[in-house]
Amino acid sequence: MSLFHPTPADAPHLTRVLPIAAMPGGELEVFGTHLDPAGSRTPHATIGDLFAPILLSRPTRATVQVPEGTISGNLILHRGNGTSNALAVSIAVPMAENIHPVSNPAVDATGQVFTTLSGSRGQETPVSIFRIQRDFQMVPFVRELMNPTGLAFDREGYLYASSRAEGTVYRISPEGEMTTYAEGMGIATGIAFDDEGNLYVGDRSGTIFKINRDREIFVFATLEPSMSAYHLAFNAAGTLFVTGPTTSSNQAIHAIDRDGSTSVFYQGLGRAQGMAFDVDDNLYVAASLRGQRGIVRITPSRQASFVVSGNNLVGLAFVEDGCAALATRDALYHVSLEIEGRSLIG
């Protein structure tokens, strides 16, 4: 406030913003006072130096759309001659483009991120899997793997990749050399390791396979078929969580205990896909909730809320320093969430 430019009595004031982060094109809900139009003049927002349109404004709540090219910075609402206080917001920035993830990226022990150029079923692509270095440089890692889908690391630093075209899981060395690990997985999609080094594979036609360390294959559980892929993730207790997108807007996340018994952990999502856990056993899933798309956090007590707003998300993986890599249908984004993820290395 200045003696020469006093703050108007009806200047907007911001108290909080939800969710804690957004993708470009996503929406932020801002709460406070004096957020509605001033006469005939519609308020607008800025994030850093960029204009951010307000899609809906009411006295105590406004919806702000995040424009392309935005980076993390201060969100300020402008109304008439008044300007609000600033609230810091976290915005995802591109880390890899011109790719095609269909599930979570994978992160190795050094913090490098791996993702796919999957293609449509039966399509050959010049590169199958890319390695994204810590400086965001994207390097070809694997070629000649048809339709790579699920990715997971073991404790020895080998990357495993499923091929939904072949029903095969491949084992890939740190140098990118590929060998067949297991075959006959139907339409093999999501994969995940448990804490004993067993590998689980989701066949989207309805079977969850378990492959032990001797490469013996068992049917672990059966679910209804998925229209695209199964996505798998383990919590700290060793329970396997599974999503399998369908056309329903009331989709379930399934929980499968160590004996293969299946239950519904949470129901009410639309097109739930890739998942990850944090160290407190909160589950994060790319899904729609109450008509909005993004990353949904579901607590162990089954309370759901948005953490990231954004469209076209198919998965995520936690990286270092409380950040996450977010996968869309054609790119990866990097965002600060101040959340420590649970290691996915089996």
The pLDDT-based confidence of 40 (bands split at 50, 70, 90) is low
Q: Work out whether strand 113-116 and strand 129-132 pair parallel, antiparallel, or are unpaired.
A: antiparallel
State pLDDT tens for residues 141-179: 999 999 999 999 999 999 999 999 999 999 999 999 999
| Whole-number average pLDDT of the chain | 94
pLDDT higher than 70, residue 6: no
252 pLDDT above the threshold of 50: yes
Collapsed DSSP state (helix, strand, coil) of residue 190: strand
| pLDDT above 90 for 88 | yes
| CA 139 to chain centroid | 22
Q: What percent of the chain has pLDDT over 90?
A: 88
Q: Given this model, what pLDDT does residue 10 score?
A: 83
The answer to whether residue 4 scores a pLDDT higher than 70 is no
Taking the C-alpha atoms of residue 258 and residue 208, their distance in angstroms, rounded to an integer, is 13
State residue 346's pLDDT score: 61
pLDDT at 272 over 80: yes
Of 7-16, 85-94, 209-218, the least confident: 7-16
Interval 278-303: pLDDT, tens: 999 999 999 999 989 999 999 999 99
Position 53 confidence tier, pLDDT thresholds 50, 70, 90:
very high
CB neighbourhood size of 114 (10 A): 23
CATH number of 13-91: 2.60.40.10
The yes-or-no verdict on residue 264 having pLDDT over 70 is yes
More confident residue, 214 or 10: 214
Residue ranges matching CATH 2.130.10.10 in the chain:
94-336
pLDDT at 279: 97
pLDDT (mean) for 3-20 = 81
Sign for the pseudo-dihedral over CA of 313, 319, 320, 322 = positive
How far, in Å, CA of 215 to CA of 183, rounded? 10
Query: What's the whole-number mean pLDDT along residues 220-232?
Result: 90
Q: Which CATH class is domain 94-336?
A: mainly beta
